[in-house]
Amino acid sequence: MRYLVSANWKMNKTVAESLEYLEIFLPKVEDITAVDIMIAPSFTALASASLKLEHSHVYLGAQNMYYMDKGAFTGEISPLMLTELDVDYVILGHSERRHLFCEKDDLINKKMISAVEHGIRPILCVGETLEERELGKTLNVVEKQIRTAVAGIEKDMIYIDIAYEPVWAIGTGVNATPKQAQEVHRFIRELISDISKGNDEKTRILYGGSVNDKNASELIKEPDINGFLVGTASLDPDKFFNIISHVIEA
């Protein structure tokens, strides 16, 4: 399985700043073919980033999308708008979308179906809050999020990646320990194998939540961690490159 290291820039970097980053970053990863690399800039930077990535093997990602092709949905971005820009991946169900913008499982399911139909590879984010973890509900929460998100597209699991991102670890500087992450990743691996009847050999299970160039090498040693979704540390091209290097070394 090819591992995937992906950057979620969230609401950071203007178009100029995004291009400045890529100027520094792309030469560093020019010769890297052992892992897949993806960058998800802001929507406004997608078009310029797409041009910049045209002759590189770095994939382009969007941070969200709506599920309809077009219509009266003020402020939303359609899958057609993304495919026009050669967007390869879309991050769906991110905890910030779930918690700050009240996205529910059934909406995420519609987006997942639409992404797969349009050939945009979704990275489905799942994860428990601190309260849910303390109540021992982690695996139940993750199972419900995954089952509802992939309802109707179980046979397409091969086109989907999953990011386990405990909410308490995102942007907090407190990452899950390798053991904590591995426990959930193993559970997800078995769950998706069951859901997809084994048609999941290309589904990567990424870990996300305060990954940095210090903790990446330990986390990636775990057998069911197949890459990362990186927020804060991906904003610095050197740090993001170091994380990629740790994944390659593993």
Q: Which residues of 125-154 are buried (b: 16+ CB within 10 A; e: fewer)?
A: bbbbbeebbeeeebeebbeebbeebbeebb
The residues with which 36 forms a beta bridge, in sequence order, are 4
Contact characters 157-186, ligand PEP, x per CB under 6 A: --------x----xx---------------
Which residue sits closest to ligand PEP, CB atoms considered?
231
Contact of 60 with 6, CB cutoff 8 Å:
no
Tell me how many degrees the CA angle 58-117-90 measures, rounded to the nearest 5. Answer: 35
Q: Which stretch binds ligand PEP (CB under 6 A): 82-90, 104-112, 213-221, 230-238?
A: 230-238
* Cβ neighbours of residue 213 closer than 8 Å, sequence gap 6 or more: 233, 239, 242, 243, 246
Work out whether 63 is an interface residue with ligand PEP (CB under 6 A): no
Binder to ligand PEP among 122, 127, 209, 227 (CB under 6 A)? Answer: 209
Q: Tell me which residue of 40, 153, 56, 151 sits closest to 88, measured CA to CA.
A: 40
Q: Which of 82, 123, 230, 244 binds ligand PEP (CB under 6 A)?
A: 230
Nearest distance, CB of residue 11 and ligand PEP, angstroms: 11
Please work out the total of residues on this chain that contact ligand PEP, with binding judged by CB under 6 A. 13
Name the minimum Å distance from CB 31 to ligand PEP: 26
**229 makes contact with ligand PEP (CB under 6 A):** yes
β-strands 89-92, 121-126 pairing: parallel
Catalytic annotation on 94?
A: yes
Min dist. Cβ of residue 140 to ligand PEP (A) = 22
Q: Which of 96, 128, 165, 222 is catalytic?
A: 165
Q: x/- contact string, 114-153, with ligand PEP (CB under 6 A)?
A: ----------------------------------------
- Identify the residue among 122, 166, 208, 237 touching ligand PEP (CB under 6 A): 208
Select the span of 22-30, 149-157, 192-200, 206-214 touching ligand PEP (CB under 6 A).
206-214
Residue 165 is among the residues annotated as catalytic for this protein: yes
Residues at the interface with ligand PEP (CB under 6 A): 8, 165, 170-171, 208-211, 229-233
